[in-house]
Amino acid sequence: MMLFCFPRYPFPETLTFDDAYIHGEIVRILMKQQKYDDPRLGPSLIALGRVMGLTVIEKYVDTLDKTFKYSKLLREVYAGVNGKDVEDPDLQQFFKFKCWI
pLDDT at 11: 61
Could you list the mean pLDDT of each consecutive 10-residue stretch along the chain, which spans 101 residues? 53 76 92 92 93 93 90 94 92 91 83
pLDDT at 89: 92
- Cα dist. 97→21, 24, 54, 65, 70 in Å? 31, 27, 17, 13, 16
Q: What is the pLDDT of residue 9?
A: 56
5 CB contacts (<8 Å, ≥6 apart)?
Answer: none
The whole model's pTM is what? 0.84
CB 19 within 8 A of CB 43: no
**Rounded CA separation 86/89 (Å):** 9
Instruction: Give me the sign of the Cα torsion angle 66, 48, 78, 30.
Output: positive
